[in-house]
C-alpha cells in the first residue's frame, strides 16, 4: 500500500530536521556563522536550538507506526527489540565521539585516543535513552497517562534543579544539579568540553525532560494518522502547538528557556513549534497537494540515522586529514569557500556538505537500501 500524503508529511518533517541538523553542525567557519545558525549562548532560543528536540520529536513520530506492529507481539519480543535498539544507538553515539580512535601527536605520528577521555553521553545517547523510556511507557501505559507522566518529568526536573542548587544559581552551567551529577557519575574527563569547561548539554539529569519530546512526538504522529485527514484534526494539532508555545513563554519567566539545560519551558516551546510545523506540512502536502519538494527531504527521512552518522564521521575525517599544516576541513574553507565571503562562504560550505550527505542518501534510496536499527 502506498503511504498517504499525510504520512509523507512525517517523512518530510524528519528529513527537514536531519537536513537542518547537518547545516548547523558543519559550518565552514564557526566564528562567522550567521546568527540563526548558532545556538543561544545560554538562556534564550534560536532556530538552531530547535533541531535536536525536533529529532527527538521525529523519533516519537516513527514510534507511532512501530507500536502498531508490536500490539500482537509478546512482551519478551517487544522488550528485546526496545533494549537492542537502545543499546545499538547508544554505542553508535559513544563510538562516534571516540572516532577515529587516534590523533596526530607532536612527532607527526599517530597515538591512540585513550578510553579514559572519551565522552560517554551525547546526541545519539540521549536519543537512545529517550526512545527507551518513551517506548516502555507507550507499551505499558495509556496515552493520557504517558503524557501526564511526561509533563510531570518537567516539573520534577525543575524541582530537582531548585532543591539541589544550594546557595548558587540553580541554572548556572557549572554548579547546577545536572552538572554535579555528571561529574559525580562520569568524572570531568568523560564530559563534553566544547564550552571550555567540563559540562555536558546531553547529561544524565537533563535527559529526563527530553523524554517528553519523544512522547509528545508519538502522540502527534498517532493523532495525524487518525485525525490528520480532516480540517478539524489539523486545527486541533495547530491549536495545541500554539498553546504550548504560549505556556512556554509564560513559564520562561520562572524556568528560563535553555537548550543546554533542556528546561521544561524549552520542551514546551520546541514541542509547540514542532506541532505547528507538522500541521503546516500536512496542510501543504495533503490539502494543497503541493509536493514538488517532498522527495528532497524524504531522502534524508528514509535513512535519518545513517545519514546523520555519515555527516558526523565525514566532518570528523575532514578535521583529521591534514593538508600541509591545516586540517582538510579548514583548508577547504580557506582556499575555496572563503572567497565567497567569510559569512556566506561558511554557509556555502555547510550547504555543500549537506548536499554531499543527501547524495549518499539518494544513492541508497535508488538502490532501495534503508538502514534500520
Per-residue pLDDT tens for 80-106?
Answer: 999 999 999 999 999 999 999 988 888
Residue 372 pLDDT? 83
**C-alpha cell at position 194:** 566544547
Is residue 264 in some structural domain? no
Query: How far separated are the first and last CA of the chain, in Å rounded?
Result: 23
Given a cut of 90, is residue 291 above it in pLDDT? no
How many residues make up the chain in this entry?
A: 373
If you compute the radius of gyration of the chain from its CA atoms, what whole number of angstroms results? 21
Residue 59 pLDDT? 94
How many other C-beta atoms lie within 10 A of the C-beta of residue 340?
Answer: 14
Is residue 316 in some structural domain? yes
Domain that holds residue 313: 1-38+290-373
Render 143-189 in DSSP notation, one character per residue: HHHHHHHHHHHHHHHHHHHHHT-TTS-TT-TTTSHHHHHHHHHT-GG
Is residue 126 in some structural domain? no
Rounded to the nearest integer, the mean pLDDT of the chain is: 92
Is residue 98 in some structural domain? no
Residue 309 pLDDT? 95
Per-residue pLDDT tens for 207-262?
Answer: 999 999 999 999 999 999 888 788 899 999 999 999 999 999 999 999 999 999 99
Q: Cβ-count burial of 227 within 10 angstroms (0-12 exposed, 13-18 middle, 19+ buried)?
A: middle
Residue 226 pLDDT? 87
Is residue 147 in some structural domain? no
pLDDT band at 55 (very low <50, low <70, confident <90, very high): very high
Is residue 107 in some structural domain? no
pLDDT band at 130 (very low <50, low <70, confident <90, very high): very high
Q: Give me the mean pLDDT over the 343-354 stretch.
A: 96
How many structural domains comprise the chain? 1
Q: Cβ-count burial of 121 within 10 angstroms (0-12 exposed, 13-18 middle, 19+ buried)?
A: buried
Given a cut of 50, is residue 310 above it in pLDDT? yes
**C-alpha cell at position 158:** 525543575
What is the C-alpha to C-alpha distance for residues 266 and 154, in angstroms, rounded to an integer?
10
Give SS3 for 321: coil
Cβ contact 296:358 at 8 Å: yes
pTM, to two decimals = 0.92
Per-residue pLDDT tens for 153-189?
Answer: 999 999 999 998 777 889 999 999 999 999 999 999 9
Render 268-308 in DSSP notation, one character per residue: HHHHHHHHHHHHHHHIIIIIS---TTHHHHHHHHHSHHHHH
Cβ contact 318:332 at 8 Å: yes
Given a cut of 50, is residue 3 above it in pLDDT? no
Closest by CA to 224, choosing from 240, 244, 212, is 240
Is residue 225 in some structural domain? no
Core vs surface per residue 151-187: b (16+ CB within 10 A) or e = bebbeebbebbeebbeeeebbebeebbbbbbbbeebe
Is residue 109 in some structural domain? no
Amino acid at each position: 500500500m502506498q503511504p498517504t500524503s499525510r504520512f509523507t508529511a512525517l517523512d518530510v518533517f524528519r528529513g527537514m530536521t536531519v537536513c537542518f541538523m547537518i547545516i548547523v553542525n558543519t559550518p565552514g567557519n564557526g566564528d562567522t556563522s550567521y546568527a540563526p545558525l548558532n545556538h543561544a549562548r545560554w538562556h534564550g532560543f534560536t532556530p538552531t536550538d530547535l533541531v535536536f528536540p525536533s529529532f527527538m520529536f521525529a523519533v516519537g513520530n516513527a514510534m507511532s507506526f512501530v507500536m502498531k506492529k508490536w500490539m500482537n507481539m509478546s512482551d519478551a519480543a517487544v522488550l528485546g527489540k526496545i533494549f537492542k535498539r537502545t543499546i545499538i544507538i547508544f554505542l553508535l553515539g559513544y563510538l562516534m565521539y571516540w572516532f577515529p580512535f587516534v590523533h596526530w601527536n607532536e612527532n607527526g605520528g599517530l597515538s591512540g585516543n585513550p578510553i579514559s577521555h572519551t565522552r560517554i553521553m551525547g546526541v545519539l545517547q540521549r536519543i537512545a535513552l529517550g526512545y527507551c523510556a518513551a517506548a516502555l511507557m507507550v507499551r505499558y501505559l495509556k496515552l493520557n497517562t504517558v503524557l501526564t507522566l511526561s509533563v510531570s518529568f518537567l516539573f520534577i526536573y525543575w524541582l530537582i534543579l531548585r532543591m539541589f542548587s544550594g546557595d548558587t544559581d540553580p541554572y548556572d552551567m557549572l554548579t547546577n544539579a545536572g552538572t554535579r551529577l555528571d561529574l559525580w557519575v562520569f568524572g570531568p574527563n568523560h564530559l563534553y568540553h566544547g564550552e571550555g569547561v567540563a559540562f555536558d548539554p546531553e547529561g544524565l539529569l537533563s535527559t529526563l525532560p527530553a523524554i517528553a519530546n519523544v512522547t509528545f512526538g508519538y502522540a502527534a504522529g498517532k493523532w495525524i494518522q487518525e485525525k490528520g485527514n480532516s480540517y478539524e484534526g489539523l486545527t486541533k494539532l495547530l491549536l495545541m502547538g500554539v498553546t504550548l508555545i504560549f505556556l512556554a513563554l509564560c513559564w520562561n519567566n520562572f524556568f528560563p528557556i535553555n537548550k543546554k539545560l533542556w528546561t521544561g519551558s524549552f520542551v514546551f516551546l520546541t514541542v509547540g513549534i514542532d506541532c505547528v510545523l507538522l500541521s503546516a506540512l500536512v496542510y501543504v502536502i495533503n490539502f494543497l497537494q503541493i509536493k514538488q519538494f517532498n522527495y528532497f527531504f524524504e531522502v534524508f527521512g528514509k535513512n535519518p540515522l545513517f545519514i546523520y552518522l555519515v555527516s558526523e564521521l565525514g566532518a570528523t575525517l575532514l578535521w583529521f586529514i591534514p593538508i600541509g599544516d591545516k586540517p582538510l576541513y579548514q583548508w577547504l574553507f580557506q582556499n575555496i569557500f572563503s572567497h565567497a565571503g567569510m559569512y556566506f562562504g561558511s554557509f556555502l560550505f555547510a550547504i555543500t556538505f549537506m548536499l554531499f550527505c543527501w547524495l549518499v542518501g539518494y544513492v541508497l534510496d535508488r538502490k532501495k537500501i534503508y538502514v534500520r536499527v
